Amino acid sequence: MQTRATAMARVQARCDEQALCILLGKAAAPKPSSASKRKVLSSDSESDEEIPVRPLKRAAPAPKAPAAATPKATPAKSKPRLVDSGSEDERPAPKAKPKPKARAPPSDESESEEEEEVKPKPKSRAKATPPAAKAASSSKAAKPAAKPAAAKPEVKDEDKEDEKPKFNYFAHKANATGPKAPGSKDIPMGQPGCLAGLTLVFTGELESLGRDEAIELAKRYFAKVTGAPSGKTTYVVLGDNAGPGKLRTIKEKNIPTLTEDQFLDLIRTRKPGKLDDKTKAAIEKEEKKVLDQAMELERREKEEEKLQKRKEAALEGTGQAVKKVAPPSAQLWTTKYAPATIKEICGNKGQVEKLTNWLTDWQKNYKTGFKRPGKDGGGLYRAVLLSGGPGIGKTTSAHLVAKAVGYNPLELNASDARSKKLIENFTNIDNTSLDGFFQGKGAGSTTVANANVNSRTCLIMDEVDGMSSGDRGGVGALNALIKKTKIPMILICNDRSLPKMKPLWGTTFNLPFRKPSAAEIRSRILSILYKEKLKIPSNVVDELIGGVNSDIRQVLNMLSTYKLSKSDMTFDEGKELLKLNEKNTIMTPFTITDKITGPYAFSRTNKQTLNDKMELFFHDISFMPLFIQEHYIKTNPAALNNLDGPEKAMKNMELLSKASDWISDGDLVDRMIHGSEQHWSLLPLHAVTSMVAPSSYIYGTGRSPAGGGWGGPAFPQWLGQNSKQTKLQRQLTDIQIRMRLRVSGGRDEIRQQYMPLLASKIVTPLMTSGSGAIDETIATMDEYYLGKDDWDAFVELGVDSMRDELVLKQIPSATKAAFTRAYNKADHPIAFHKGDMFAASKKKITNDGPAPDNDEVFEEDEAPPADDDEDAGADDDVNDLGKDKLIKAVKPKGKGKAKK
């Protein structure tokens, strides 16, 4: 009992010391392992020397070790110490704990115990010290004690309790089912611009407003809405089930929060014009920037008009034709307000700078063989690839950079001839082509599109991802030309990740362009509107930019058309204009499946009508039913969010059953559409039964196969299995046609009855006997008119223990090679069939039924019936072997014609 009490007291003292160190911010003492605790508690019958404590201190203390290092087994005389960031003098003394009365240690052990309170024992000393080690310690032996066996690291229960589960965003998103009472509160009518200068963040689910509705309401009154709270956030509108990360940021930065009612009251009561000095300065700066850009546009337009008049005046007396340019009022806005300098490009400043550096150093890198990567790594490439969405400034940047560096840009796009021969001509500037010779430009020059190609020409290939067989060379030929081009090439595409673009990944300098933000485009659009005297608020401009995915050309085209009828625009009119000019983008089946089965696809806040959801089906009417059938069992339905246990499992099975019933109905409708009846008017019904109705039951987040993450739509496995089934059926049909000369039976009977027995004659011997069974196998195959391809089909059609992967593993590679050589070397019988053996028998009209009425049949150029003599002559011609083209008469030796 005394031994147990002593051990428990030491463990208690060590735990108290750890708690004190944690409170004071010092390094915590290592806790005894569970193995050590078990040793202490099970030592009732052992002596005092078997208690797992360190030997008494007899020597000078060992030097300090780094705190991060793992304590190793040390000699008995040197005791490991706990080292923290502070000095020993600054270390606070532990609190004194009352010791048990039953404990009566000797005096030297008391000294050791006091040291243990300051320098606790590390983990590596958890095991009981053997008596031999004690003896070595007391005698101060020069040799260190034997290193104890390393104990396996154990996971502590305390560490498990401290570990917090990682936040699962997708599970959190699945629980978001929209507002509890949508539309239950009146939306106030605030004054225009009442939220100007405020930066808001919405998190969680509000009571009556959906997330999109609340953001749109805030932007309507000029508030700036961001996705995550920061130091610049004015208010956070907080709802239920808010994200823990945002809540943590709100608490750390002490950001004010608003409920839904407070947010609506803010719109109702706040007056416009309440701006702080910082916001006022930012607004004034942006207004000044807009005004300066508008004045620059006005000045540039006047200079262009003066330059055009000078050209016309200079050409009037020469008799040459004057190239007329449309006045600015008749030009398209995309042409009229196209950037004229690099500074006027909106967004992608870093990529434009890299393009400029690459083109500036191109001649230098050409002389060194493109072996120096340079600052951005572009010095290794002869061509550059600009990729990104349409209308974000890729082509404009290429032209402006080429002109700024001193090159003459030559553009070829999908509407031009981009054949392999043409590209070879003008990428090789040192060729001896006579294209330019007959135009008086010398034999070493090449003329393309009325432009002389020389060393200062920069080729711009637009819409490279649109190259096809019509370009007579395609991307592969272009890639080969890039490797030897003698002029810089700038390639432009929309999607670099396409499979056809793969050859260009390693031969071009990749510069992906991203779509500019609304803030980067806003000032440019507002300056154009100021010049055109079109009054549109900045929040409406932001809405237009976001609605077209930052496509600047699309925004200018919409505004130029709108200017013809009105001179101002409200927020609602901007939404209506966006809806009228919405891009009809073609979505892939993956994005459609993700959209129709997403967590908000059928929630109460979703504003899509049934027709809108049916329109998604018509993006790809063939693949969408297959994608839904593949994906419907791989979701976490939103209807299960408030359920748990067996009830959740039963509800899930009910939802899957209803969805599968609709999918079955969709298959029946599909058979009526693609069957013999061809009821194509049922396509809308097919859209509902095969896609919309099943998705209404299983919409939610995707369930990852590994669990815990987003499981996106997968490619339908049915396509691969169906292709394999068709292939195997074709192979089985070929085997049945050849074997029917020896056996009788249909395809199913051949597969079920004959093939298992025949496989034991032509497949199993090669597995068991190896090369010795080759001759016997070939003889059996010849008996049934089977070829080498049929043998491969036998193996592929095997099941269970005769599966192809198991069979091919048991046949050595040398045996398979010898079998192939032996089969190709010998002659084999060939099954011969007449053409009418497998043709359908012609039905003859009998005299039993009524004869068909052919009175209405009109045959054009009907020939009169032939005479009997002509028929006889025709038969003689057929039987005359001399007129047979396949039979040639043997010419006799010598002169004269051969007799027939």
* Overall average pLDDT of the 133-145 stretch: 40
* Overall average pLDDT of the 483-497 stretch: 89
| CA–CA separation, 222 and 553 (whole Å) | 25
Q: Where in the chain is the domain with CATH 1.10.8.60?
A: 280-317+332-340+518-583
| CA–CA separation, 115 and 827 (whole Å) | 96
Q: How confident is the model at residue 242 (pLDDT cuts 50, 70, 90)?
A: confident
Architecture of the CATH domain 348-512: 3-Layer(aba) Sandwich (3.40)
* Residue 14 pLDDT: 56
Tracing tokens 């362009």 back to the chain, one arrives at 513
Nearest-CA neighbor of 123 among 186, 31, 236? Answer: 31
Per the structure block, which two tokens stand in for 461? 């290939």
Is the per-residue pLDDT at 572 higher than 70? yes
| CA–CA separation, 671 and 681 (whole Å) | 13
* Residue 54 pLDDT: 40
* Residue 463 pLDDT: 85
HSE on the CB side for 385, CA within 13 Å? Answer: 23
Per the structure block, which two tokens stand in for 736? 């049945």
Segment 653-666, tens digit of pLDDT: 999 999 999 999 99
Contact 300, 323 (CB under 8 A): no
Nearest-CA neighbor of 614 among 690, 669, 675? Answer: 690
* CATH number, span 280-317+332-340+518-583: 1.10.8.60
Per the structure block, which two tokens stand in for 594? 């993700």
Is the per-residue pLDDT at 682 higher than 90? yes
Contact 900, 889 (CB under 8 A): yes
> At how many degrees (to 10) do helices 624-631 and 646-674 cross?
160
Is the per-residue pLDDT at 639 higher than 90? no
| CA–CA separation, 40 and 61 (whole Å) | 26
Contact 711, 697 (CB under 8 A): no
| CA–CA separation, 639 and 543 (whole Å) | 33
What is the DSSP secondary-structure string of 778-815?
HHHHHHTT--HHHHHHHHHT--GGG-HHHHHHHS-HHH
Residues of the chain with pLDDT > 90, as a percent, come to 18
* Residue 103 pLDDT: 44
**Does the global pTM surpass 0.75?**
no
Segment 750-772, tens digit of pLDDT: 888 888 888 888 989 998 888 88
> How far does CA 892 lie from the centroid of its chain?
78
* Residue 256 pLDDT: 92
Angle, CA 828 vertex, CA 822 and CA 834 arms, to 5°: 155
Cα torsion angle, 195, 201, 202, 204, sign: negative
Segment 317-344, tens digit of pLDDT: 676 666 666 777 778 888 888 888 888 8
Q: Where in the chain is the domain with CATH 1.20.272.10?
A: 589-715
* Residue 60 pLDDT: 44
Q: How confident is the model at residue 385 (pLDDT cuts 50, 70, 90)?
A: very high
| CA–CA separation, 174 and 172 (whole Å) | 5
| Percentages (nearest 5) of helix, strand, coil residues in the chain | 50, 5, 45
Is the per-residue pLDDT at 232 higher than 60? yes
Nearest-CA neighbor of 690 among 631, 637, 650? Answer: 631
| CA–CA separation, 876 and 123 (whole Å) | 112
Question: DSSP 3-state assignment of 86?
Answer: coil
Question: DSSP 3-state assignment of 80?
Answer: coil
Identify the residue with better confidence: 290 or 831. 290
Q: How confident is the model at residue 469 (pLDDT cuts 50, 70, 90)?
A: low
> How far does CA 295 lie from the centroid of its chain?
44
Identify the residue with better confidence: 430 or 613. 613
Identify the residue with better confidence: 625 or 289. 625
Domain 589-715 matching CATH 1.20.272.10: the answer reads yes
Segment 504-556, tens digit of pLDDT: 888 999 999 998 888 888 888 999 998 888 999 888 998 898 888 888 888 99
Is the per-residue pLDDT at 842 higher than 60? no
Per the structure block, which two tokens stand in for 526? 């507002």
Average pLDDT over the chain reads: 74
Quickly count: other Cβ atoms within 10 Å of residue 154's Cβ.
12
Q: Where in the chain is the domain with CATH 3.40.50.300?
A: 348-512
| CA–CA separation, 900 and 886 (whole Å) | 14
* Residue 330 pLDDT: 76
Angle, CA 523 vertex, CA 522 and CA 524 arms, to 5°: 90
Q: How confident is the model at residue 640 (pLDDT cuts 50, 70, 90)?
A: confident
147-161, 175-189, 536-550, 792-806: range with lowest mean pLDDT: 147-161
* Overall average pLDDT of the 553-579 stretch: 89
Per the structure block, which two tokens stand in for 801? 């223990």
Matching CATH number, 175-274, of 3.30.70.1400, 1.10.240.10, 3.40.50.10190, 2.40.110.10: 3.40.50.10190
Most confident of 406-410, 668-672, 850-854, 895-899: 668-672
What is the DSSP secondary-structure string of 302-358?
HHHHHHHHHHHHHHHTTTPPP-----GGGS-HHHHT---SGGG--S-HHHHHHHHHH
